Amino acid sequence: MCVTAFALVMLSANAGYASEPNAPDGPLPLKPRRYEFAGFPILGGSTDIGVQFGGAATLTRFFDGALPYLWNIDLLLSASLKDDETGFHLVQQSHVLRLDAPGLFGGEARLDARATYLRTINAGYYGLGNATAVQLLPGQTSLGRRYQYLQQEGWLRTIARLRTGTLVDLALAGNLRYEAPAAYVGSKLAADLDTRSGPAVVGGQSALLGSFTAGAMIDTRDSEFVTTQGIFYQLGIAATAGSAEGVANGELAAVLSHYAPLGGPFVFASRIFASFRFGRVPFYDLQTGGAFEPESLLGGDQGVRGVPIGRYAGLIKAVANVEVRCTPFPRFRVLGERFRVGTTTFLDAGRVWSDYSAISAADGTSLGLKYGIGGGIFIQWGEAAIFRMEAAYSPDAVSENPGFPLGIYVSDGLMF
């Protein structure tokens, strides 16, 4: 998302904190049984989605020694409006409700459930492979809807994490979703879905899709909020079946995150993300990866920052993220609320492969790494509420906005 302007106002109601110690910069003891509530009214804007508005709220229950908390509920509601040469439009809607309950059955099980609705009238689709080009058609002076489509989807996702008494946890997940994309006349997607010349991709029909994932997780992080040391590994295999176009496919995925202190307020964080899909995969899933928690790869705020979402797609995707995080300032209070400000400096890189061929014209003959570099700030409100704002430069951002090759992201939580 290339943002031209944005503003943020934060409000909250928080109860249950212990009183501050005498030293304002000293430790801030907290009651072991408390609720934390934080709300983030958001006003944003971009050249693509127009004026964005909405809000995010999080409610967390801390109870004695339950780690990281007893339960947490997140709610995000947002929409955007834009006036262009075709009129005034509701461009994007994104709504998410999430429940995370780590303390089930005395801490032996953890349930993470999420419901999502997303509708975007200018979602990106540029074709398959690592060497997709952006070209104006004869007589065109702007890209228009050439590399866009109407994205509409609803998700229900649940992850159950079961303790085994060892370092390795068993993880099971189920996804049920409804996809209803629509291709614009004359768009790249419409051409690739054209059955007269033999479709290059599938996924143009509305479909109900169900997925099941099994795998393992290893988690030694000292904190799930702002991690300073440890690892978090997620390994999974998923199977998906759809109600249309014979969609049936599988995925092997690995997400390997590492954290290490560098001294003082600095922390080094890295992540390797790899996804291998096989079978009959719809085009929108060729843009994502992750057996447990599918993310947009390569682009967007969860992949290679600065690269537009949907810019590259294929059966194989690999992404590496490196961050140096810093929390140089002690926690402070504003109107009785506890805050901490931190910074991120990052380098992201990745590549896709359209298929399993050793050499493919769609992927090019060079190394072809896509990258983004940038930084940002994050605000930790209490313990569980984290809000980040980041800017990333990538040469690929030119394909979305030639005069503004930056991606600016407003998100909740750190990237990994």
pLDDT at 47: 54
Cα dihedral sign for 310, 311, 312, 317? negative
Q: Is the per-residue pLDDT at 24 higher than 80?
A: no
- pLDDT class for 15, splitting at 50, 70, 90? very low
pLDDT at 46: 56
Q: CATH code at 309?
A: 2.40.160.50
pLDDT at 9: 37
How many domains are contained in the chain? 1
What pTM value is reported for the model?
0.87
- pLDDT class for 44, splitting at 50, 70, 90? low
Dihedral angle, C-alpha 185, 187, 193, 196, nearest 10 ° = 60
Q: How confident is the prediction for the chain on average, in pLDDT?
A: 88
Q: Is the per-residue pLDDT at 5 higher than 50?
A: no
- pLDDT class for 212, splitting at 50, 70, 90? very high
The predicted-structure confidence for 298-320, as pLDDT tens digits, reads as follows 888 899 999 999 999 999 999 99
Among 51-65, 78-92, 220-234, 354-368, which stretch is predicted with the lowest mean pLDDT? 78-92
The predicted-structure confidence for 308-353, as pLDDT tens digits, reads as follows 999 999 999 999 999 999 999 999 998 888 899 999 999 999 999 9
Rounded to an integer, the average pLDDT of 233-238 is 98
Rounded to an integer, the average pLDDT of 185-210 is 94
Separation between Cα atoms, residue 200 and residue 180, nearest integer Å:
18
Q: Is the per-residue pLDDT at 19 higher than 50?
A: no
Q: Is the per-residue pLDDT at 260 higher than 90?
A: yes
The predicted-structure confidence for 130-157, as pLDDT tens digits, reads as follows 999 888 777 766 788 899 999 999 999 9
The predicted-structure confidence for 369-392, as pLDDT tens digits, reads as follows 999 999 999 999 888 889 888 999
pLDDT at 2: 42
Q: Is the per-residue pLDDT at 6 higher than 60?
A: no
The predicted-structure confidence for 53-74, as pLDDT tens digits, reads as follows 898 899 999 998 888 999 999 9
Rounded to an integer, the average pLDDT of 207-222 is 98
pLDDT at 209: 98
The domain of 76 spans 5-412
Q: Is the per-residue pLDDT at 198 higher than 80?
A: yes
Rounded to an integer, the average pLDDT of 234-242 is 98
Rounded to an integer, the average pLDDT of 160-171 is 96
